[in-house]
Amino acid sequence: MKDKLFENIEINCPVCGVTHMVEKRLRETQALFKGEVVNYEEVYFLCDKADDEENEFVPAKVMDSNLLKVRDAYRKAKGLLTSYEISEIRSYYGLTQSEFALMLGWGEVTVTRYESKTIQDETYDSLMRMVRENSMLALEYLDKHSERFSEKRYSEIRHCVKKRLDVSSRMYLKMQEIKSLYTQFEEASDYNGFKTLDVEKLTRVMGYFANEVNHLYKVKMMKLLWYTDAVYYRRHGKSMTGLVYEHMTFGALPIGFNEILNVPTIQVVEEMMYEDIGYKIIPTSKTDESVFLKDELSVLQLVADKFKDYRSKQIVDYMHEEKAYVETSDHELIPYSLAKDLKELS
Ligand SMILES: [Zn+2]
């Protein structure tokens, strides 16, 4: 388990009662929360003037932030928005904690509690998610609860939400387009790796590869997705994204391969290659590893490390030797169960 020095700071040390330099450290540890064992990074302090038995301490403020990490680790494990994600949503619309709660028709302190100590229930969680994805809905909720705001604040917030609406409604439509292609795969099956399509996860996975991998063009991105899902399936018995792949000339190709290139974490730029135009994929923001579960991150890192420097043709040739490819024919859906026999990665 990781345990490392973060910084040395001067502090009034509660262990020995003297103000001196102590080590502020960070370690991986576990906690039991609501019956769930969660992993998180705990901050603690070390006094070198005391005996080894009782030389650690955690000031109250740091304790609070440790507990916040425990709750967020639990939220992540349960597929709920973390406190940070909640605050991101309201900042996106220029709202304070209480304004966000008022807008959604909740008690004024509800969001404040979610960002500090209470775990939101699923109904509240999904409303916040929907509002994040759909600014039109945010506007509807704001208008519905306009009487809860001063006239001035109402019009300021409305202005901000409308600005977001412009950008996000276009994005929303594109996301809906992807989802609509997957309506026939709503049941968990061998074709989606026993998981229905998770567009949000897919968006993050694509953003990850856009940051971490070289020579990234369309064809290579699609192979990286297949390997990610295949390796994850092999380890955990389900896919990571829920994409369904078809056997095509250049290897596995997800249903909706053109549509998924519209996710907001990547940008496709045209590039002259010899006599032809190539479509290079670049990230729109830096990788945020904290959005992934530990198991997910380890698969992403494995796939990125393996294929980092492969050219499109190399990864296509590599995939052509997989049982999943050899045992399926043109345009046939590739069952995830064939991923059990991946030739090398595991
Ligand atoms: Zn001390």
Alpha-carbon distance values, 57 to 12, 13, 45, 52, 253 (Å): 11, 9, 5, 12, 53
302 token code pair: 């494995």
Judge if 94 and 60 occupy the same domain.
Answer: no
* Pairing relationship of beta strands 276-283 and 266-273 according to DSSP bridges: antiparallel
Q: At what angle do helices 122-133 and 135-144 cross, to 10 degrees?
A: 110
Domain end call among 77, 112, 140: 77
pLDDT for 28-51, tens place per residue? 999 999 999 999 999 999 998 887
Q: Is 228 within 8 Å of 345 (Cβ atoms)?
A: no
Judge if 200 and 276 occupy the same domain.
Answer: yes
* Confidence bin at 117 (pLDDT 50/70/90): confident
66 token code pair: 């440790």
Residues lining ligand 1 (ion), CB within 5 A?
A: 13, 15-16, 47, 49
Residues paired with 272 in a beta bridge: 277
Reduced to 3 states (helix: H, G, I; strand: E, B; else coil), residue 242 is coil
Is the pLDDT confidence value at 345 over 80? no
Per the prediction, the chain carries an average pLDDT of: 93
Dist. CA 22 → ligand 1 center (Å): 7
Q: Domain limits at 104?
A: 83-180
Dist. CA 58 → ligand 1 center (Å): 12
Domain end call among 153, 180, 207: 180
- The total number of structural domains that make up the chain: 3
Dist. CA 118 → ligand 1 center (Å): 34
Task: Give me the pLDDT at residue 116, please.
Answer: 87
Is the pLDDT confidence value at 293 over 70? yes
Q: pTM above 0.75?
A: no
Judge if 198 and 296 occupy the same domain.
Answer: yes
Dist. CA 282 → ligand 1 center (Å): 49
Judge if 303 and 205 occupy the same domain.
Answer: yes
Dist. CA 54 → ligand 1 center (Å): 10
Dist. CA 16 → ligand 1 center (Å): 4
Judge if 62 and 123 occupy the same domain.
Answer: no
Judge if 119 and 159 occupy the same domain.
Answer: yes
Judge if 103 and 142 occupy the same domain.
Answer: yes
CA-derived radius of gyration, the chain: 24
Dist. CA 18 → ligand 1 center (Å): 6
Judge if 172 and 64 occupy the same domain.
Answer: no
Dist. CA 29 → ligand 1 center (Å): 23
| DSSP 8-class letter at 253 | E
CA-angle at 116, arms to 112 and 118, nearest 5°: 90
Contacts of 331 (CB under 8 A, 6+ apart): 246, 247, 248
Q: Is 135 within 8 Å of 168 (Cβ atoms)?
A: yes
Dist. CA 37 → ligand 1 center (Å): 32
Residue 346 lies in a domain: no
pLDDT for 240-256, tens place per residue? 999 999 999 999 999 99
Task: Give me the pLDDT at residue 52, please.
Answer: 72
